[in-house]
Amino acid sequence: MAFTFKQFHVDDDQCAMKVGTDSILLGTMTQVSQSDRILDIGCGCGLLSLMLAQRIQGNGEICAVEVDEAAATQARHNIAQSPWPDIIKVVQTDINQFTATQPFDLIISNPPYFVDSLLGPKDARNVARHTGGLTQLQLLKSVVRLLSAQGMFWLILPTKEAQQLIGLSTTVGLHLQQLCAVHTVKQKPIHRYIMAFARSDCLQVAKSAIDVYDEKSQYTSQFIALTRNFYLNRG
C-alpha cells in the first residue's frame, strides 16, 4: 500500500509489517529535543525515521537498521524520495551485530512482540512480529550497548509484552521514565503501552493515557491533535 503524509510519502508493499497506528503514535509522542543522533531499530519501510526527520527538520542524523533485505530496500526508496535523504541512513543488518562509532541520543523501536504465539506461514512476517529473531533481552542489551549516557529509549508494545519488558529492563541497567496507556476505544481495556527508558533511576514514572477512537468510532480530539502535523486531513 501507499500512504501520503503532509511532508512525505511511504510505500510498504515490500514490508511484512505495514504502516499502522502503533508507529504513528510512537512517532508523534517520542520526545526529540536535543536528539542529535537517532537510531531506529527495525525500521521497516522507514516510517518512524521519516516522522522523526520531519520533527527535527534536518537538525541531526538518523540511522535506520532493518534485518530484512526487501524492507531495507523499500526504506531506502522512501527516504530517497523524501525531503531528508541526507540525514537518514539505512543499514541492513541484525541489530545484535550492528556497531556504531558513537552512541545515540535517542533510540526508537516498534519491535517484534509475539512471545509465545504460533508462527505463521510467512517467514518475513514472523521476523517482524515474533521475538524469535530478536528477543526482548537482546533488544534491551542492544539498546544499552548503543545508547548515550543521557539518551532515551522509546518503544511501543502490547500490555503483556510491555510488562515483561519493564521487568527485564532493570536487569540491564535501564529504568522506566514514562508510560502512556493507549486505548484503541475510549473506556476499553489498555491496548498498547508507549514507554520511555533511560539509564538513570526514576523516582516517579510520568504516566499518561490516550484514546484513539471515541464511543462513536470517531478519532478523539486528543488523537487528532497528536497527528495534526502528519495526516493530510488534519488542519
Q: Among candidates 176, 97, 91, which has minimal Cα distance to 141?
A: 97
Residue 166, C-beta contacts closer than 8 angstroms, at least 6 positions apart: 176, 195
| pLDDT by residue, tens only, the chain of 235 residues | 788 999 999 999 989 878 889 999 999 999 998 678 999 999 999 999 999 999 998 789 999 999 999 999 999 999 999 999 999 999 999 999 999 999 999 999 999 864 444 434 444 444 434 344 689 999 999 999 999 999 999 999 999 999 999 999 999 999 999 999 999 998 899 999 999 999 999 889 999 999 999 999 999 999 999 999 999 876 5
Entry pTM: 0.90
Q: Give the angle subtended at the CA of 208 by the CAs of 206 and 235, to the nearest 5°.
A: 125
Spell out the domains of the chain, with CATH numbers in brackets: 2-227 (3.40.50.150)
Q: Alpha helices of the chain — where are they, by DSSP H? A: 21-29, 47-56, 69-80, 123-129, 136-146, 159-169, 221-227
